[in-house]
Structures are given as structure tokens and as C-alpha cells.
Amino acid sequence: ATGGFFLSECLQVKRHLCNPTSYFSSLLLLQEGRCLYVILLMALYWCTEALPLAVTALLPIILFPFLGILPSNKVCPQYFLDTNFLFLSGLIMASAIEEWNLHRRIALRVLMLVGVQPARLILGMMLTTSFLSMWLSNTASTAMMLPIANAILKSLFGEKDTSKEMNRENEEHQASLQQNKLYTVPTEMQFLASTEDKDLTEEKEVASDGLSDLKKEEEYKTNIWKGFLISIPYAASIGGTATLTGTAPNLILLGQLKSYFPECDVVNFGSWFMFAFPLMLIFLLLGWLWISILYGGINLRGWRTKKSNIRADAEARAREVIKEDYQKLGPIKFAEQAIFFLFCMFAIMLFSRDPKFIPGWASLFAPGFISDAVTGITIVIILFFFPSQKPSLRWWFDLKAPNTETQPLLTWRKAQETVPWNIILLLGGGFAMAKGCE
């Protein structure tokens, strides 16, 4: 009987191999096969962008109920989990920071503190970008910092046309020296003629040395450009690992933990920060050293080599440009102070909600009722009604004082324009896909 069963199984496998279409059609009859079909279809659409990414993320709402994988009342809530709202609060906070140029003031201030040498400027850009990426998305942090880096690079090496013109003049001068060489004849002035030939030879050597120096400076400038433009996205990726809101994969991990282990509350904002922040600092330092050695002008053979005049002038120009841009921002505004305060409250409240090693402020309320999303949305809502100008107490005591409308720190129209809502749908699509697989 066992031999007959084994023979029948072999015949079925052979029939499936000979007719793979029937095999896959039978597989699709199973619920697991239909779920696999949806996952492969979404992966194909995401890779080819046959549909917009956010639209592809909405396919589970249609396909899961029709194919009998998951009912609609279990699919749709996956797009509005508390993890999604935590990420949304970070995006709205980034919109408010960008609205009042707070990121620019922070970046310029850090650059003024670290110095204007290329390696130090790269360190300043990486520190600022990683700090912003801890609370904002990697894309938003990179987009905020690249214009600042571009302005600094133009101030450092904006005179490329001038250096090329100097290079061309040196080449023409060297060619003229070769064409206009004086050939002397034996006379009583032989000694003077030989002296002139020696001077011409020395002049040609000086010109060739100047040409090689210019080539080295051009190569140096190109490396600095590469170092700056590489360091910002690297720092954003590294800084995003320090917090849950820093990058979407961290939130996806949190969402999956809550889905598979609902009673487990070990991973939250505070515990993740205590684990990932020291590692982030180590990786950031190693990344800065590596980029600075490759592109930042750090020479391991000699740290105290003498600077060329071109590099010294470029650093002086960069120092003036950074100082001038910071002065253009003017004195810090009331709106910037308010956003910075709310930003600090955003970070402190998320960290202190339930840090695990000490009781957090969430212990004052009913257990399990307060999550990180509650904290983030609470701070974000304040942005929409807190005034952007310093309020006056005159209105409270003077009945004749004009009742003028004040602009809030962030308007809903601005949030609609600047918040990337497609990322929220992408997160929801991932959670819905995971729910279907479960």
C-alpha cells in the first residue's frame, strides 16, 4: 500500500511538471496561492512603476476581498494604524521646520562652530543632516540640506572659469617661451647670453610647476564636491537609524511586532533610542573619517602640510558666505523659537513616554491607552493653532483693541502641499500585505 501511494504521488508530480499551467492554476485555488499572486503582482508593479507607487499600495483593498484572502474590514484599518500616524506627525513637523527655515539656521550655526576646512565642513553637514534625519524622513533631511551644501561649494570653488583661464594663460605662456627662445652666437657677450638662457629655463620650469599645481587644485576641488554630495545622503541614512520616526523600515518593524505579538511592548521610541543612538554615533564617525580621507582633503602622511594660496582664499570666502547667509536670516523670530520648543517637546515626550528603565509619563494614565502616535499628533495639532507672532496681552484688557487674525505656525494648506501623503499609503500597503500573509 505504501508503494502504491508513493507511485501515485510520483505520477502527480510528473503530471504537474509536464503541465505547469495546471499546477499553477490549482495553486491559485488555494488561499495561500492567491495571496502569493497579489504579492508578486504588487512587487512587479512597484519595480516597473506600471502604476504610481501609492496606487499600487491600494491594490490589497481591491484584491484581498475579491480573492477571498481577507475581508475589507480587516484590510482598510491597516492603512491607518497608530504607526502610520506616528510617521505622519514627523512629516508634518518637517513641514513646519521647513516653512520657517529653522533647519537652515541650525545648519549654518553648526558650520560656523566647526570651521571652514573641507573635512570640518563635511563633519558639520553630516552632524546637522543626521540630527534632522533622526526626527524627519531621510528624503526630507537630504532635500533640506543639499541647497545649503550647494551654496557653500559655490562659495568655495565657484571660480572654476577663472582657474581654467589661468591654466590656459600658463599654457600659452609656456608655448611662447619655446617659440621665442634666443639663440646666441659666440661673441664677447657669451657670458650674458648663457645667463639669459638659464633665466628662460628657470621661467619655463616655474610655468610647468604652476600648471601642475593648477591640475592638482582642480582634482582637489572635484574631490571636495564629491565628498559633500556623498556625505549628506549617507548621514541621512545613518541618522535615520537612531529613532523610530527617522526612517520607514523602523516603523514597519514596530508595526509587525505589534501585529504578531500584541502583548509585547518592549520596543518603543525610548527603548529603540537607547539601543540605536550609540551605534548611530559610531557609524557616523566612521563614515565621516572614510569620506574625509577619500574626498575631504585629509592627508594621513602629514596633518600640518602648508595650504596653497588658492585653498586659503577659498576657505576665507566660505567663511564669509556662511557668516553672510546667517546674518541674512536676521534675529531669531518668535515662530522659530516656538517651533524649536515644540520640536524639543516632541522629542522629549516621545523618549520619556515609556523608556523602560524608569517609569514614563504614560504610567499616569490607563495602561495601554497612550502610544507614541498620541504624543506625536498632540504636538502636531498645536502647530495649527499656535500663533506665529508674539501675542499681545493688550487684547485681553483693552476692549477697543483691534481683533486681528494671526497666522498659525503651520496652515493646513501648507501641510497639504508639502507632506508626502503617498508615503503614508505605501506604509499602509505594506501593513495590509503583511496582514494578508498572516
201 falls in which pLDDT band (50, 70, 90)?
low
Q: Could you tell me if residue 172 is inside a domain?
A: yes
Distances in Å between the Cα of 182 and the Cα atoms of 27, 157, 194 are 92, 40, 10
pLDDT at 133: 87
Q: Could you tell me if residue 301 is inside a domain?
A: yes
- pLDDT of residue 286 exceeding 50, the answer is yes
- pLDDT of residue 73 exceeding 70, the answer is yes
pLDDT at 366: 84
pLDDT at 162: 41
pLDDT at 8: 46
pLDDT of 330-386, one tens digit each? 888 899 999 999 988 988 888 888 777 778 888 888 887 888 888 889 999 999 999
Q: Could you tell me if residue 46 is inside a domain?
A: no
What's the whole-number mean pLDDT along residues 232-242?
91
Q: Could you tell me if residue 248 is inside a domain?
A: no
pLDDT at 44: 93
Q: Could you tell me if residue 294 is inside a domain?
A: yes
Mean confidence (pLDDT) of the chain: 76
What's the whole-number mean pLDDT along residues 213-220?
68
pLDDT at 315: 73
Q: Could you tell me if residue 360 is inside a domain?
A: no
270 falls in which pLDDT band (50, 70, 90)?
confident
**Beta carbons of 233 and 140 less than 8 angstroms apart:** no
Q: How many domains does the chain have?
A: 1
What's the whole-number mean pLDDT along residues 180-198?
47
56 falls in which pLDDT band (50, 70, 90)?
very high
Q: Picking from 79-93, 151-165, 241-255, which range would have the lowest pLDDT averaged per residue?
A: 151-165
pLDDT at 15: 53
pLDDT at 169: 47
Q: Could you tell me if residue 298 is inside a domain?
A: yes
Q: Could you tell me if residue 53 is inside a domain?
A: no
184 falls in which pLDDT band (50, 70, 90)?
very low
300 falls in which pLDDT band (50, 70, 90)?
low
- pLDDT of residue 185 exceeding 50, the answer is no
Q: Which domain holds residue 187?
A: 119-241+270-329
pLDDT at 281: 94
